[in-house]
Amino acid sequence: MLDVEKDIKKKGGVLRVIKKAVVGLFAKAVTNPKTKKIATVIPIHGNIKDPKTSGWATFVNVLKNAFIHAFHESLSSELKAKQSANSDEK
């Protein structure tokens, strides 16, 4: 939980509080409300002793998973419900 006054005094800075707020907001935005988890694909390459990951690719995948896939699944569910309702009317 973010307590602005307390965090500014304790942690020594407005920028740190802003960063904490932004990270918290982002985490809330990309978290699945049903499972309370964040899931994505993290591309890893290289050898086992020195694996390489792409922070940018991971960030983009998190956004895709949170917004695009969630929107697609929601839209698919709505379309199926409408199709079912239309077939019941016939």
Residue in the block written with tokens 């802003």: 18
- Domain boundaries, given as residue ranges, for the chain: 1-30, 37-90
CB contact set of 2 (below 8 Å; sequence gap of 6+): 17, 20, 21, 24
Q: Please check whether residue 35 is in contact with residue 65, taking contact to mean a CB–CB distance below 8 angstroms.
A: no
Q: Which residue has the higher pLDDT, 52 or 78?
A: 52
- The pLDDT-based confidence of 74 (bands split at 50, 70, 90) is low
Instruction: Give the integer Cα–Cα distance in Å for 4 and 11.
Output: 10
pLDDT at 24: 78
pLDDT at 12: 62
Q: What is the pLDDT of residues 13-46, one digit of tens each?
A: 777 777 777 777 777 766 766 766 666 777 888 8
- The pLDDT-based confidence of 7 (bands split at 50, 70, 90) is low
